[in-house]
Structure 1
Amino acid sequence: MFNVVKILVQPFSLFIHNKDLILSMTKKDVIGRYRGSVLGIFWSFCTPLFMLGLYTFFFRFVFKAKWPDVGDTTADYAVMLFAGLVIHAMAADMIGRSAGVIVGNVNLVKKVVFPIAVLPWVTLLSSLFHLLVSMIVLIMFFLVSGGSIQWTLILFPIVILPMVFMFMGVAWFFAALGAYLRDIEQIMGTLITFLLFTSTVFFSIDHAPSAIKPILLLNPITQIINDLRNILVYGFLPDFSSLSIYFGFALVSFYLGYMFFQKVQKGFSDVL
C-alpha cells in the first residue's frame, strides 16, 4: 500500500521540491526562444495572430469553408477555427519538443545531482505559457468581432486539466525514448500533422460523417477542442461525463509515462 501511495505522489513531489528550479528554467526557456530577435517575447503574441490570419484566409476565402450553427461572417469562422488551433498548438509544442529534451540538455543530464525528470515539467509550463498568450489573443479577437464573454469560460482550467496530464505523460515517454532512438524526433512532425487532421480543428464534430466520428473521438485533443468552443462561444457547460473518462485515461498516461521515464533514465548518460 505504501509503495502505491509513493508512486502516486512522486511526480507531484518532484515538482514541489524542485519548483524554483522548474520555474527558473521555464522562464529561461520562454525568453530563450526569442533571444536575439528584434521583437523579443512580443513574438509570442505575433505568432498566434499570424496563425489566425493565415488559416482564416485559406479556409474562409480560398476553400470557402463555413461553420454550422454560428454566424456566417469571417470573424465567426475565425473564432471557431482558432479555438481548435490553440489547443493543437499546445499539444504540438509538448510532443514536438519532448523527444529532444534529453538530447538537448546533455550537460544537465550528466550531472549526478540534477533531477532529470523535471525537464518535461519545464516543457509543460512553457507550453502552458504560450497557450495562455494564445487564449488572450483569441478572447480579444472574439470581443473585437462582436462576441461576448460567457460565464462558462471560467471553467477553462477544468477543461484543459485532463489534457495537461495526458500530454505530460506523453512528454515523459517521448523524452525517455528520444534519448535512445534519435529517429523519434523525425517522426514528431508527422505525428503532429496527424493530430491536426484527425481532430475537429477545422470542422464541428456534430457535422462530421458518422463513419469517422470514432476516429475523431480517439484523438486526445478533440474532446478539449469541443469543450473549449462550448464554454467560449455557446456558453454551454463542458461534457463532464466524457471529460471524466478522458481524465481517467489521462492519469494512466501520466503515471505510465513517468514510470517509464524513471525506469530507463539510468541509461541516459551511456547513450548520450
Structure 2
Amino acid sequence: MKHAGLIVELVRREFAGRYQGSLGGVLWALIHPLFLLSIYTLVFGVVLKTRWNGGGGTFGYALYLFAGLIVFNAFSECLIKAPAMIVGNQNFVKKVVFPLEILPLVSAIVALLHAAIGIAVWLLCWVVLFGMPKMTVLLVPLVFIAVLPLLLGIGWIFSALGVMLRDTGQIVGITSHVLLFVTPIFYSIDDIPEPLRAALALNPLTYLVGWTRSFLFAGILPEAIEIIAYMALSLAFSYASLCFFRRLRPLFADLV
C-alpha cells in the first residue's frame, strides 16, 4: 500500500507518544480501560444497582455498558481530534509532497488499537467471571472493519472544517456529548418507545454498538443485508468526505 511505511511510523509515534514520559508507559493503555470498568461496576452496579436483562448481575451490566462504550470511545476520539489535526501539524501542511489525507487514517488506527485493547480487557474479565464467551466473539473485528470508513469520513470532513472554521472544535465537543446519550449505550434500544426508536436508527453508532453486543453477549449474527447496507453507506460517506477534503486541500497552507 502506498505510504504504508509512513503510516506505520506515524501510528507508532502517536500511540507511544501518548504515554511517553509516564512511569507506566504503554501499560496505561491497559490500565485505563480496567480503571473505567471498575468505576462502571461501582457506580452503576453497586450504587445505582442497575441490571442488564440478559443477567449477570452487577458485573454483567458493567461489562454490557463497557462493551457499548468501546466503539463509541473510538468514534469520539477521532471526532474530537479531527478539527485540530491539520492546524496542529503546520509543518506537514507546508510540505507540498506530504500526503495529508493519511492523518485521519493514522488517528483511526490508533483509536481502533485502543478499542482492541478494550475488547481484550472485556474478554479477560468475562472469562474470569463467567467462563468462555460465545464463539461469535471472533466476529468482533467485523465491527472494526465497519467503523473504519466512518472514522475516516469524520476525520476528513472535520479536519478540513477545522482549518476553515476554528469553532469546529467546540461544535464537535458538544456533538460528542450529545451522541453519548442518543446512542443506546446506557440502555437497550428495545427499551425505547417505537417513535424514538426510529429516530435512534438514524444514528450510525446505534448499529455498531448493537452488533458489538450481539457478538459478545447474545451470540446472534445481524442480518447480512443490514451489514451490507451499512458498509455501502459508510463507504459512500467516506469517499464523499475525501473528495471534500481534497477540494479544500489547496487552501490549507494559506489558512494555518
TM-score, normalisation: structure 1: 0.90
Q: Which residue of structure 2 aligns with residue 33 of structure 1?
A: 18
Q: Matched residue of 2:84: which SS?
A: coil
Instruction: Confirm or deny that 1:126 pairs with 2:138.
Output: no
Shift of 1:47: 1.1
Instruction: Confirm or deny that 1:55 pairs with 2:61.
Output: no
Structure 1 residues 117-196: aligned runs within 5 Å: 117-196=101-180
Unpaired segments of 5 or more residues in structure 2? Answer: none
Shift of 1:62: 3.0
Unpaired segments of 5 or more residues in structure 1? Answer: 1-15
Shift of 1:57: 2.1
Q: Which residue of structure 2 aligns with residue 228 of structure 1?
A: 212
Structure 1 residues 20-99: aligned runs within 5 Å: 20-68=5-53, 70-99=54-83
Q: Which residue of structure 1 aligns with residue 86 of structure 2?
A: 102
Q: Which residue of structure 2 aligns with residue 9 of structure 1?
A: none
Q: Is the 8 A contact 1:159 1:243 kept in 2?
A: no
Q: Structure 1 residue runs of 4+, over 3 Å off? A: none
Q: Is the 8 A contact 1:198 1:215 kept in 2?
A: no
How many Å separate the matches in 1 of 2:222 and 2:140? 9
How many Å separate the matches in 2 of 1:42 and 1:253? 35
Comparing 254-263 and 149-158, the one that deviates more: 149-158
For residues 169-193 of structure 1, give each alpha carbon's deviation from its aligned partner in whole angstroms, at most 9, with x where no partner exists. 1111001111111111112221111
Which one-letter code corresponds to 1:186 in the other structure? Answer: Q
Instruction: Confirm or deny that 1:246 pairs with 2:252.
Output: no
Q: Percent identity among equivalent residues?
A: 35
Shift of 1:72: 4.6
TM-score, normalisation: structure 2: 0.96
How many Å separate the matches in 1 of 2:68 and 2:12? 26
How many Å separate the matches in 2 of 1:55 and 1:183? 33
